[in-house]
Amino acid sequence: MNNSNLTLDEIKYKEALKRVKKIKGFYTHLLVYIVINASLLIVKYQNLDVGENFWRWQNLNTLFFWGIGLIAHGLSVFLPVLMLGKDWEQRKIKQLMEKEKQNKWE
């Protein structure tokens, strides 16, 4: 079934489903980040030598760099809604569809 045969409710449902999958993907990423990094930090803490400082770059670099990736993922999921509003995507789709209709008739 192509998109021209879909009802407005079906289009909205597909958009909502896509959005939910993006949010779920972010939360899965967050959970994996927490579990893996907590495990790494526990192992690193248990393997410290006597008198060694835990708060060294070598112990925190995975947490830091993966955290940057996680923040970027979160921004890609949530920032468009925060910056452009929840209806922006729908308005843009309608605008592009109208433009496409006009181009077909020329």
pLDDT tens digits along 33-50: 999 999 999 999 998 888
**pTM, two decimal places:** 0.70
Helix ranges restricted to H, the chain: 8-46, 57-84, 88-104
Which own/partner pairs from 91-94 qualify as long-range (CB within 8 Å, at least 24 positions apart)?
A: 93/11
Name the most confidently modeled range: 11-20, 31-40, 48-57, 70-79.
Answer: 31-40
- Higher pLDDT pick, 29 / 7: 29
**Greatest alpha-carbon span in the chain:** 79
